[in-house]
Amino acid sequence: MNLFFQQIINGLTLGSIYGLVALGLTLVYGILHIPNFAHGALYMVGAFMSYFFMVDLGVHYWLAMAGSAAVVAILGVLCERLVFHPLRHSPPIHDKIAAIGILLFLEALVQMFWGSDFRRMSSPFTGIMNFDGLIIPEQRLLIIAGAFTLVFALQMFLRKTMTGATIIAMAQSREGAFLVGIDANRVAMMTFAISGALAAIAATLYAPINLVYPAMGHLVIMKAFVIIILGGMGSIPGAIAGGMIIGFAEAFGGFYISTAYKDIIAFGLLVLILSVRPQGLFAKGAH
């Protein structure tokens, strides 16, 4: 029975990370209709930034996380300004290719500075909590709590602040938002910044129980895409629910079926679902 609860904790941990990454992806998609293939690279840069701040500059974990979030947020804004903004009237295939260009660039850049080795990043939360035989490492608890806090904060921001309201308005109708005088550029930059910060925080939370390396974003971004397709592209609750579905499917699938194939589960699920429902699980009507 304990093993079963252990898997629940694992599922929650994975689901939290996936959810955070997918959240950024779905926000950008909702507002700009760009499937940002570079989002995984932003996640990866986030992990390396925290690593750099902590190991090379000796900064505390929390500070490193904040610094990394800031750097990646700026990076996200730069991508929007320099790449996606000039491409806003181009055929849809162009911004996908441009996003791939950004991804390749960032990966090569990180690889040039840090090499392609696998690195470990420590965090101050190395303890283990034992609830009557149910073992939960502190870092995992931190991930789950952190993710829930962030999602809550984001909801507050989107619902209660003026800026948040403009983001929602623009996600619902780009032209409509333009008509009522919303500064589309500002919203786009803001969205990219939030999306980048979320990716960096997710990476910093997850890195201590995982490894840091230039290709670490590949799997995560692909799973994040699976998640937002499951949850409906552009939908915030969909991203969180989808993240949990994939997190749990992997935790339980990896444990009860096969560890070697656990990464395939998400993609198998996607193929299955899109074969039956091309518009995704929760999306209403045609996309």
Partner 1 sequence: MLFKIGSLLMTPAARYGLLALAILFPFLASNEYQVYVMASAFVWAIAVYGLNIITGFCGQLNLAHGGFFAIGAYTLGLLTADHGWSFWPAFLAALLMTAALGFLVGVVSLRLKEHYFAIFTLCVGFIIYLLIDKWEELTHGPIGVRDIAAPYGFGLVDFTETTPFYYLVLAFLVLAIWFMGRLSRSLLGRTFIAIRNGDELAESLGINLMRNKVLAFVLSTTYAGLAGALYAGMVRFIGPEEANITHTFDMITYLLVGGIGTITGPLLGTVGIVWITQSLQFLEEYRMIIFGPLLVVLVIFFPRGITGQFLSWMHHKAQAMQPRHKARASKVTAPQEARNNA
User: Under the criterion CB under 8 A, does residue 94 sit at the interface with partner 1?
Assistant: yes
Amino acid at 242: G
Residue 208 or 217: the one with the smaller Cβ distance to partner 1 is 217
Spatial CA neighbour of 169 closest among 151, 191, 152, 153: 191
DSSP conformational letter for 119: B
Contact in structure between 194 and 91 (CB atoms under 8 Å): no
Smallest distance, Å, CB 123 to partner 1?
29
Is 109 an interacting residue with respect to partner 1 (CB under 8 A)? yes
Nearest to 233 by CA among 224, 220, 245: 224
Q: And the tokens for 45?
A: 């840069």
* CA gap 266, 243 in Å, rounded: 10
Q: How far apart are CA 215 and CA 233, in angstroms?
A: 25
The mark string for 123-162 relative to partner 1 (x by CB under 8 A, - otherwise) is ----------------------------------------
The residue range among 51-59, 156-164, 189-197, 266-274 that interacts with partner 1, by the rule CB under 8 A, is: 266-274
Nearer to partner 1, 38 or 212 (CB): 38
Question: Which range touches partner 1 (CB under 8 A), out of 52-60, 130-138, 171-179, 224-232?
Answer: 224-232
Other CB atoms closer than 10 Å to residue 57's CB: what's the count?
Answer: 10
Residue 181 CA to residue 43 CA, distance in Å, equals 33
39 or 140: whose CB is closer to partner 1? 39
Q: Toward partner 1, which CB reaches closer, 217 or 247?
A: 217
CB of 142 to partner 1, least distance (A): 29
SS3 state of residue 33: coil
Among 22, 27, 47, 270, binds partner 1 (CB under 8 A): 270
CB of 124 to partner 1, least distance (A): 35
Site for partner 1 in 236-265 (CB under 8 A): 260-261, 263-264
One of 8, 57, 63, 112 touching partner 1 (CB under 8 A): 112
**Which residue is it, tokens 């910044």?**
193
Helix (H, G, I), strand (E, B) or coil at 134: strand
209 CB-side CA count, 13 A: 19
Tell whether residue 278 is a contact of partner 1 (CB under 8 A): yes
Of these, 57, 63, 108, 156, which contacts partner 1 (CB under 8 A)?
108
Secondary structure (3-state) at 131: strand
Q: What are phi and psi of 202, to 5 degrees?
A: -60, -45
Query: Residues 7-36 vs partner 1: string with x where CB under 8 A?
Result: ----------------------x---x-x-
Question: Where are the strands (E) in 128-254, listed by range?
Answer: 128-131, 134-137
Of the candidate residues 17, 64, 103, 200, the single one contacting partner 1 (CB under 8 A):
103
For residue 241, the Cα-to-chain-centroid distance in whole angstroms is 13
Site residues, partner 1 (CB under 8 A): 29, 33, 35, 37, 82-83, 86-87, 90-98, 100-109, 111-112, 218-219, 222, 225-226, 229, 233, 260-261, 263-264, 267-268, 270-271, 274-275, 278, 287
